[in-house]
Amino acid sequence: MTDTAIRPGSELPDTMWEVAKRPRWIGMLVFALAVAALFAYLGHWQLDRSVESLKPISTGSETQKVLSRVTEPQTEFLDKLTGQRVSVTGSFADDDFRVLSGRLQSGKTGYWLLGRFVDRSNDASLVVALGWGETAADARRAESSVPLAPAVETISGRYLPSEAADDGKFTQGQQTVVSVPQLINQWKGFSGDVYNGYVVDHRGWGGLTAIYSPPPIDKATLNWLNVFYAVEWVVFAGFAIFLWFRLVRDAFERETEEAEEAAAEAAAASLLSASPQAPGRTD
């Protein structure tokens, strides 16, 4: 007979919850809740680690660097350089300014002024976006404020990749993209090397508005292993409570079965004692 057997004088529980309210099972419930709380804490900790991994990883784009030290002319534009703050020292070339249309700034469509800047460290040409204006006339007027060679300037801003050429609008006389290959064909008497990206100067030249150029959005990755561990600990926490429930139910069912068996044995014994003795045979 197990320790859950019905003792003489004890009452058979009508429901499983009557068994659960016994001191022994209340103590087991407290223990199960403590274990579940521990598992839940571990799950929360693992989840925090997976969320921590979602924070942007600094790529160093906000640390200004000399352009010629992070890339070279006539080389492929590397994705990691997108939005990098750079500085370049050199001079603006004469009569190589262009005005772009259809450029957005604070929800408004306007114009950019582009200039060709020659890096004096390697004589390579660089496209520089000098500012934004509401009209093409504003952009053209700003040209007169830009000092030309041999004046030396140091410009600084974000380095961005050349945009895809828009041949349709270009042939219609509208220039809307910063396409380095297209600009090369427009520069007068140009020869030499060129950077395959452009710089958005942090200033607004000649009364133009400084072009809005936000920091790049760093790629973030989700640590699925930490997420899996977090889910696993939550399952363990639920299993601790389920195990207590299952043990209580088993105890209730065992007591019920043992009581039914005891009742059946008592009924059988009662029937045997009440049966009349069979008459003996005589020879």
Say if strands 84-92 and 65-66 run parallel, antiparallel, or are unpaired: parallel
Confidence (pLDDT) at 19: 82
Confidence (pLDDT) at 8: 43
Confidence (pLDDT) at 55: 58
251 Cβ contact list (under 8 Å, min separation 6): 4, 19, 25
Confidence (pLDDT) at 9: 40
Residue with tokens 């609008």: 169
**Contact at 8 Å (CB) between 96 and 148?**
no
Confidence (pLDDT) at 151: 94
Give Dmax over CA atoms of the chain in angstroms: 150
* Residue 30: Cβ-neighbour burial (10 angstroms; 0-12, 13-18, 19+): exposed
Average pLDDT per consecutive 10 residues, the chain (283 residues; last block may be shorter)? 43 78 89 90 83 60 92 93 95 92 94 96 96 95 93 95 79 79 90 95 94 79 78 90 90 84 79 65 50
Q: Of 202, 200, 206, 203, whose CA–CA distance to 129 is shortest?
A: 200
Confidence (pLDDT) at 52: 61
Confidence (pLDDT) at 51: 65
SS3 180: helix
DSSP letter at 192? S
What residue type is 90 in one-letter code? G
| Token pair in block for residue 116 | 């060709």
- What does the alpha-carbon distance between residue 103 and residue 167 come to, in Å, rounded to a whole number? 17
pLDDT digit string, tens, across residues 12-69 = 777 888 888 888 888 988 998 999 899 888 888 888 777 665 555 556 788 999 999 9
